[in-house]
Amino acid sequence: MVRKCLFPAAGYGTRFLPATKAMPKEMMPILDKPLIQYGVEESLAAGMQQIAIVTGRSKRAIEDHFDISYELEHQISGTSKENKLAGIRHLIDHCTFSYTRQMEMKGLGHAILTGETLIGDEPFGVILADDLCVGNPEPVMSQMLRLYKKQPACIIAIEEVPLSEVHKYGVIDGEELEEGVYKVNGMIEKPSAEEAPGNLAIIGRYILLPEVFNTLRETRPGKGGELQITDALHTLAKQEKVLALKFSGMRYDCGSVHGFVDATNYFFALYRQS
């Protein structure tokens, strides 16, 4: 029912300089797998097999990653290393990948609007690969899709954060309809603790209706002079078209050193147990 998933991956990743000077943030590995591969796995698990990626300068490694490397495969064929490529091969075999380029980094809303050419007129998932999610019991996008199937609307994933942290996020004003599901009345991008309507912060997972594109076109640049998806969703929330899901599981902000190290420790602990 939702076949496509958009990966805005054009940002500069300034919080992770100098690592991200020439290398895409999305290619930074947690153990031996780049962040964006975790995201594509989550997308495929939710049945979204058509992967649409918005890239920018210095992002070519992403395209190469989701392609077959014949020389490499030939080299390791028949050796014990062969199965190291099994996971990425599975994604290549089960997904399609299409790309478009964001020429100027004018914000997440602008990146999503740039992706319209790949999405067209249908609902779609959005995954920000630097938000690495470990859903429990099922991946976060699958949890969101379950809600979407019951109530087709824009669905945004949220989590509680300390009030001292709300200035880093979009924050919703909502009323709880059932456990963990909120009707969103409005939202605000990076508010101060005083301005914030609460502490329910938007994280990097969305299911969006295609009308978001027109709304984005009509939205003026907001915080930081960037076109904010939060501002467009605020407009749609006023039309009662937005639900928020407090997902179950963990999220690591791998765009920050702190979150990246936490995620690495989490996956390394799992790896040691296996």
Contacts of 267 (CB under 8 A, 6+ apart): 30, 31
Among 53, 91, 111, 153, binds ligand UTP (CB under 6 A): 111
Closest CA to 247 of 126, 155, 159: 159
Q: Is 128 in the site for ligand UTP (CB under 6 A)?
A: yes
Distance of CA 258 to the CA centre of its chain: 18
* Contact (CB, 8 A) for 125 and 206: yes
Map residues 26-55 to x or -, x wherever contact with ligand UTP holds by CB under 6 A: ----------------------------x-
Contact window for ligand UTP (CB under 6 A) among 98-106, 156-164, 172-180, 206-214: 98-106
Least gap, CB of 260 to ligand UTP (angstroms): 11
Least gap, CB of 138 to ligand UTP (angstroms): 23
Q: Is 12 in the site for ligand UTP (CB under 6 A)?
A: yes
Distance of CA 94 to the CA centre of its chain: 20
Q: Is 229 in the site for ligand UTP (CB under 6 A)?
A: no
* Contact (CB, 8 A) for 130 and 204: yes
Contact window for ligand UTP (CB under 6 A) among 12-20, 151-159, 179-187, 230-238: 12-20
Contacts of 78 (CB under 8 A, 6+ apart): none
3-state secondary structure 146-186: HHHHHCCCEEEEEEECCHHHHHHCEEEEEEEEECCEEEEEE
Q: Is 156 in the site for ligand UTP (CB under 6 A)?
A: no
Least gap, CB of 179 to ligand UTP (angstroms): 29
CB-nearer residue toward ligand UTP: 35 or 245: 35
Among 39, 107, 135, 222, binds ligand UTP (CB under 6 A): 107
Residues contributing to the site for ligand UTP (CB under 6 A):
8-16, 25, 54, 102, 105-108, 110-111, 128, 130, 255
